[in-house]
Amino acid sequence: MKDAVASTSQLSVLQQKLYSARQALDDMSEDYNEKLQLLLQFIAQLSIACKGQNIELDNKLAKLRHKLSRFNQIDESLADLEEVDGILKQQYGRVMQQLEESRGSLSSIISQIQRLDSLPIKLKKEISYFKKELVKPFHTYWDYIPKVEKIVYFYNEILNEQLKLGDKFEVLPKHRQSAQELAQMLSEIEFRKEQQEQISSIKLSLTDEFELDTLLSAYQVVLSLLLDNIAKEKTASQEFLYILNGALSNVREVVTDSYSHSVKSFQVAKKLNGEINSQVDNIDGSVTDINDINHLKNQVTEQLLALRTALSRKEALENREQIQLRQSVDALRRELNELSKETENYKERLFEQQKLNLLDTLTQLPNRAALQERMEIEYRNYKRTKQPLWVAVADIDHFKSINDSFGHSTGDKTLQVIAMALKNSLRETEFVSRFGGEEFVFLLPDVSESDIKPLLNRVREKVKSIPFKFKNQRITVTVSIGAAQIIENELITETFERADAALYKAKHQSRDRVIIDS
């Protein structure tokens, strides 16, 4: 019995111990699970952080994460853990190798940069200091990234320097348009012979690829040539005015002289007349008072002598006066002749200049200013007579390709030949002008609606049949033409716009055709 009690108490102690041990085991297990959970989280975070560096490593870590999430497979994961460990070691080696290679390429980039000329001294020093730093190996990407940033900074500095040095700006479409307009204007302005070579080379420099500097200096040169011309023209006018002024003062002198002379002559003549009259009165008195015939004879002879002397003095005076007058008139005539010659000269020069201002220098056709004048005249005629009036615009097809393939001067010659052909295909009353570039404008009065198309087609065919031969190549040049008739209450500029729109249509309908706006 005693044994039984003892056994029972021992059992209860054992039970107690077992219970405590189980409790401790449960606690441990719970602690273990918590730590395992932490480890799993850590691995998960680590695998995310490493993601993308190595696909094999990514896959292994994903698999490991999956296995570790199930506690019962933890043992199976040991092999995976070992593999991951191996891959991680390899990856480290690879990263170190990559970093070493990158250090090498950064060094060679820096050597290239150092070879650039015209680097500012400060930047040169910075670069060579940086190159020394590149000798030390990189341990992590964090050693590498700032170095790349530094090289980007160097490039940026160099680029800014180059921009400052180069000072070359991009040629934009608006600059190209300005260049074209300038070249166009140069074709329309008459320059002096000695200036023409300079103008041609400016025009040439503006046709192909050019830099902004070329355009600016072209403007500058053209401006100074124009100013020079204005100054010359002004001097010429001034010279004329000086001559005119000189001639007028000569005339004035002659007139003043002859006036003062005639005043004097008048006074002398008046005095002589008085003398003669008193002589006659004397004779009268002598004749009435004297009875002695001899005495009378003496008296009369004396009186007649005095009278003759006075008369011959008067005659001499009148002769002198005549000579003086003739001389004055001659001098006046000479002066006036000179003056009228000078005026004629000046008028001729003005007229020539005016004519030149209205002629296109290249083609010798009337230019845009002349077209403007003629348009006004034709418009007034139309308003008065209501006779039909047509405006036609012709444009050479693919003219750019002639310039591009055979050169600008061949292009110029082509323009001259076509201009001549256009001029020769018209009647006296019809008018053609070079509007600019490869565009020509016609004013065609008194042409009926049924005749206009055949007329313009003849013009088109005439150009097409010109046997151009460039570089031994037979070339056919064609033109497209648009035309419009002026209608009631329309301005001629509006007619021009309709003709231009018709030309646009002709260009879009494969060119070499005439389109009449209807």
Ligand X SMILES: Nc1nc2c(ncn2[C@@H]2O[C@H](COP(=O)(O)OP(=O)(O)OP(=O)(O)O)[C@@H](O)[C@H]2O)c(=O)[nH]1
By CB under 6 A, name the binding residues for ligand X.
187, 207, 362, 395-400, 403, 408, 411-412, 415, 437-438, 507, 511
For ligand X, the closer CB: 360 or 378: 360
Alpha carbons 389 and 446: distance in angstroms, whole number: 6
What is the length of the chain? 518
For ligand X, the closer CB: 180 or 286: 180
Residue 82, both tokens: 């070992």
For ligand X, the closer CB: 374 or 511: 511
For ligand X, the closer CB: 222 or 272: 222
Q: Is the dihedral of CA 92, 95, 101, 104 positive or negative?
A: negative
Q: Residue 328 to residues 251, 264, 319: CA-CA distances in angstroms?
A: 9, 15, 14
Closest contact distance (angstroms) between CB of 453 and ligand X is 21
Q: Which helix (H) or strand (E) holds 117?
A: none
Closest contact distance (angstroms) between CB of 187 and ligand X is 5
Eight-class DSSP state of 191: -
Q: Which residues of 289-305 are buried (b: 16+ CB within 10 A; e: fewer)?
A: eeeeeeeeeebbeebee
For ligand X, the closer CB: 218 or 254: 218
Strands (E), 229-358: none
Closest contact distance (angstroms) between CB of 177 and ligand X is 11
Alpha carbons 249 and 242: distance in angstroms, whole number: 11
Which residue's entry shows tokens 């166009």? 184
Q: Which helix (H) or strand (E) holds 435?
A: strand 431-436
Q: Pick from 387, 468, 378, 383: which is nearest to 432 by CA?
A: 378
For ligand X, the closer CB: 57 or 358: 358
DSSP 322-344: HHHHHHHHHHHHHHHHHHHHHHH
Closest contact distance (angstroms) between CB of 358 and ligand X is 18
For ligand X, the closer CB: 222 or 307: 222
Closest contact distance (angstroms) between CB of 469 and ligand X is 17
Eight-class DSSP state of 445: E
Closest contact distance (angstroms) between CB of 516 and ligand X is 19
For ligand X, the closer CB: 68 or 402: 402
Angle at 483 between CA 478 and CA 487, to 5 degrees: 175
Closest contact distance (angstroms) between CB of 393 and ligand X is 11
Q: Residue 300 to residues 289, 309, 312, 319: CA-CA distances in angstroms?
A: 12, 14, 18, 28
Closest contact distance (angstroms) between CB of 124 and ligand X is 47
Angle at 93 between CA 87 and CA 98, to 5 degrees: 120
Alpha carbons 311 and 313: distance in angstroms, whole number: 5
For ligand X, the closer CB: 321 or 397: 397
Closest residue to ligand X in the complex (CB): 411
For ligand X, the closer CB: 187 or 258: 187
Closest contact distance (angstroms) between CB of 183 and ligand X is 7
Closest contact distance (angstroms) between CB of 401 and ligand X is 6
Q: Which residues of 4-15 are buried (b: 16+ CB within 10 A; e: fewer)?
A: eeeeeeeeeeee
Closest contact distance (angstroms) between CB of 467 and ligand X is 19
Eight-class DSSP state of 155: H
For ligand X, the closer CB: 182 or 276: 182
For ligand X, the closer CB: 210 or 240: 210
Taking only Cα atoms into account, the Rg of the chain, rounded to an integer number of angstroms, comes to 56
Q: Pick from 53, 136, 145, 131: which is nearest to 100 by CA?
A: 136
Closest contact distance (angstroms) between CB of 188 and ligand X is 10
Residue 321, both tokens: 């006066």
Helix axes 212-289, 173-188, angle to 10 degrees: 30
